[in-house]
Amino acid sequence: MTIIGIDVSHWNGVVDWKKVAASGVNFVFLKASEGTTYVDKTFKTNAANALANGIRVGAYHYAKFGNVAEAKAEAQHFLRTVSGVKITYPLVLDLEENKKKASKAVLTDAAVAFLNAIEKAGYFAMIYSGKSFLETQLDEKRLKPYALWIARYNSYLGRDAGIWQYTDKGKVNGISGNVDMNLAYVDYAALIDKKGTTAPTPPKEEKKLMKTEDANKIIRVLQDRWNASTCQDEKKEMGRLADEVRVAAGMKKVNS
């Protein structure tokens, strides 16, 4: 099962969410905050308009902390920012820098403190990071209880994760210029709706997990990426993902 989504901030400009929804996008992570004071000026407007067009909305906070106290302060700023906004997808700690040169143990302590604060506030907590940063700067074992969203701009992810951000040069109708594209392998919407745990464990598959119409929209996006690619490994991966979508919709595979 794969579900297509994007992540958006003020850098993406004005978004036509009706067109985005029609293109097959199912979820969006919106930048909400950064550090202890910054708020993305487009967050609330984008959230309202995405929700109005049937897109699941999550939010992310770009972290700058270097210790537990700073992480807790940033978590409270994030929670204040999203307060009053309907959140229907995970709240995310975006941790991709360590400019304060914290040790692996201290930075992991800080990340856990942030994620715990999100959970205690009643939200579904997730951590986002680059593949290399996660594997070298953090103690991954201590982050196992939390859902994982990984960035790796390659033809394959090369590790386990609930969501893969596979490019920052995606094209989606309704958004000018490039946009980050993501594939979710876990139905987080279903977990949230059913009050599931934060562990990224997919629900048991049913005979038909997706409507044919929705599947065809996703397949068209994957086919466009297949057509644009010159890398055979990437073409193979797009074909595999398209077959997963077909199976989820009760259709037959065509690439194997």
Residues acting as catalytic residues: 96
Cα–Cα distance for residue pair 190/204, rounded to 1 Å: 11
In this structure, are residues 74 and 61 in contact, taking their beta carbons and an 8 Å threshold? yes
Beta bridge partners of 127: 93, 148
Report which secondary-structure segment, H or E, holds 215: helix 212-228
Helix (H, G, I), strand (E, B) or coil at 29: strand
In this structure, are residues 28 and 49 in contact, taking their beta carbons and an 8 Å threshold? no
Cα–Cα distance for residue pair 244/230, rounded to 1 Å: 22
Report which secondary-structure segment, H or E, holds 182: strand 179-184
